[in-house]
Amino acid sequence: MRDVANATGENSEQQVISAACCIDSDAFERFGRVLRHFAVGLVDQAISLRILSSDPRIESLTLGPVQTLVHQPIVWPVRKRRVEQLVDALSHQPPTIVHALSHRSYGVAKAIAQAFDIDLVFQVTSMADCDAIAQTNVDHVGRFLAISEPLATFLTTQLSLPKNLVELIRPGVQVSKEIACFTEPDRTPTLLCTSNFEKDSGVDRLIVALELLRQREQAPLVFLLGRGRYESALRNLVRQRNLLASVTFAQPQGDPLRAIRSADIFVRPTIDTDFNADSLQALGAGVAVVAVAGGVGDHLRDGETARICRPESAEALADAIEGLLTNRAEARRLAATGLEYVRANHAMSAMAERTAAVYRNLALPRTTFSLNT
């Protein structure tokens, strides 16, 4: 038995795992920056990684041994043919694991898994992912990787998935050495919001809150960094509320982390039903965060990592922001505790290590070992 154990251990350490990660445009938009850290971490874990998408932006993730494959959109009525083309493109070096990073990639990943008879992993980062899982035959999914405790709990309680198939692996982000909040005492306070300009983004509520702050003689500089169908309506609202002198609209360009690090306060004015990396990055940058209660994340904790207010209330949002503007010591304390929380719970290395462990646990039963007799 000792010979068997030794042989198994030695060969499992040398086993090469090739993972194909499928990501769609929406997921890339929400946490593509986390994916870059994830890719580097898996390389350090000796995982051969290919990232598959119809979004050409994934080519920015080509670094070192990480490969990217941009394929044609897999949509009806050419879905079957394009899946076959993707499988053919992978056939010269078939993966041993296929990992779908959101529900829009589940179908493609499932087809790849069936084509090569390999293990399938579903990432769960949103309630939309949970809804898709509830409506999909998931008998052949080896693991579900939830990015937060609320999502992991929903999978096991509401969807009745076996607990041994659900892994809680929190996303990893960069952590600054020092806090960014109010480091320049004489500078006008700066607020940043990166929510897109959509109907339910809460940006309109933030604009109303800014008017309330002005009435209370608080006039921070505010940058609204986003895009969306309601931009014109939001610009009109800013004009109607006489906030043109203090509110700036900007299109996201390059890495938004640079903008986050230049802010004193980061505001997330709506409940997130999808994980978005921006608020987590704000904590990691040492910025004070104001957010509303609820959502799929577990990193926004009232009084510990963020100032949390009730949703659907511009006045509550104004109160929370004003509390940090008028008490900078409290804002800096909150930024410091948020930064430490991210350092302890959202390390990039831990994200990669735990994911690699899942890959190895799934691949191990398929491995054939040679035993010395």
Domains in the chain: ranges and CATH: 2-172+347-366 (3.40.50.2000), 190-345 (3.40.50.2000)
Q: What are phi and psi of 324, to 5 degrees?
A: -85, -30
Of 31-40, 178-187, 251-260, 326-335, the poorest mean pLDDT is in: 251-260
CA distances from 151 to 5, 157, 159, 203 (A): 37, 10, 11, 25
Inter-residue contact 177 to 352 (CB < 8 Å)? no
Question: 182's torsion region: left (phi>0), alpha (psi -120 to 50) or beta?
Answer: left
Q: Provide DSSP, 124-154.
A: E-BHHHHHHHHTS--TTEEEEEESSHHHHHH
Q: In what order do the strands lie in the sheet with 221-225?
A: 247-250, 221-225, 190-193, 265-268, 288-292, 307-309
pLDDT, tens digit, 9 for 90 and up, residues 277-303 = 999 999 999 999 999 988 999 999 999
Token pair of 212 as six digits = 């309330």
Kindly give, in sequence order, each residue whose CB lies less than 8 Å from that of residue 25, ignoring residues fewer than 6 positions away: 53, 54, 55, 57
Token pair of 353 as six digits = 């290590």
Q: What are phi and psi of 331, to 5 degrees?
A: -60, -45
Which three-class secondary structure state does DSSP give residue 191? Answer: strand
Q: What percent of the chain is predicted at pLDDT more than 90?
A: 85
pLDDT, tens digit, 9 for 90 and up, residues 118-148 = 999 999 999 999 999 999 999 999 999 999 9
Residue 367 pLDDT greater than 70, yes or no: no
Q: What is the pTM of this model?
A: 0.92
pLDDT, tens digit, 9 for 90 and up, residues 64-107 = 789 999 999 999 999 999 999 999 999 999 999 999 999 999 99
pLDDT, tens digit, 9 for 90 and up, residues 197-244 = 998 899 999 999 999 999 999 999 999 999 999 999 999 999 999 999
pLDDT band at 116 (very low <50, low <70, confident <90, very high): very high
Counting Cβ atoms within 10 Å, is residue 125 exposed (0-12), middle (13-18) or buried (19+)? Answer: buried
